[in-house]
Structure 1
Amino acid sequence: MRELPAGSGRRCYVIGDGDGPASRLADEMEAAQLGLARHLLDRAERAAGDPEPVDVDLLALVARLSRALGDALRMAEGD
């Protein structure tokens, strides 16, 4: 089971590992989420090395990292 994008905070899933349009959409969504995770990880690593980080920027980064991690866990767990 794989998660697809859905509006209004609802969840939508495709079942199976086929090669149909829904599976391709799930592939695209997963690739986008992984790309965002890579980007956020790079930002986090740079922020960790900053001798004078800005608290507001760090809080925003933590919020985005939390959302990205939640998305990744939902994808991995199929929950």
Structure 2
Amino acid sequence: MEHAQNTPTPRLLPWLSSDGNPCYLLTDHNGGYLSRLADDMETVQLATATDVRDLARTVLDDPSSPYTEVRYAGLRLAECLTDALRVAESRGLRLLALEAGGTGP
């Protein structure tokens, strides 16, 4: 993806650096190995979020669920929500680049 001036638009990747900072990738519209890896990782993250949501519902729907199980479910849901929001942000930024006249991945 690129701006109208053919300047590559950084892609927000679905993982963090070792320091906990966001990672970005500059690539042309043809993509490459890291772009495909990021696409695959986003797919896995969203599928995992669906699985965790389904499992958490079982715990949260049971009023007699132990506190530790409810807390564990909440922590996992928060992790999955963080991943899903990063995927949404990344995809939104790529859509904005396309609307601005760039080319897609």
Q: Sort the TM-score into its range (normalised by shorter chain).
A: 0.7 to 0.9
TM-score, scaled to structure 2: 0.62
The alignment's C-alpha RMSD in Å is: 2.1
Structure 1 residue 68 displacement after superposition: 1.2
Gaps of 5+ in 1: none
Aligned residue number for residue 10 of structure 1: 21
Distance 2:30 2:18 in 1: 23
1:25 is aligned, of 28, 37, 40, to 37
Residues 35-79 of structure 1 show CA distances to partners (whole Å, capped at 9, x for unaligned) of 210111111211132241111111111111112111211221138
SS for the counterpart of 1:37 is helix
Structure 1 residue 10 displacement after superposition: 2.7
Structure 1 residue 15 displacement after superposition: 4.0
Structure 1 residues 4, 49: closer, same or farther in 2, change over 3 A? closer
Higher relative contact order (CA 8 A, sep 6+): 2
| Larger CA Rg, structure 1 vs 2 | 2
Alignment size in residue pairs: 79
Gaps of 5+ in 2: 1-10, 94-105
State the percentage of identical aligned residues. 34
Q: Which deviates the most, 44-53 or 59-68?
A: 44-53
Distance 2:31 2:87 in 1: 18
TM-score, scaled to structure 1: 0.79
Report which of the two has the higher share of helix: 1
1:73 is aligned, of 85, 91, 99, to 85
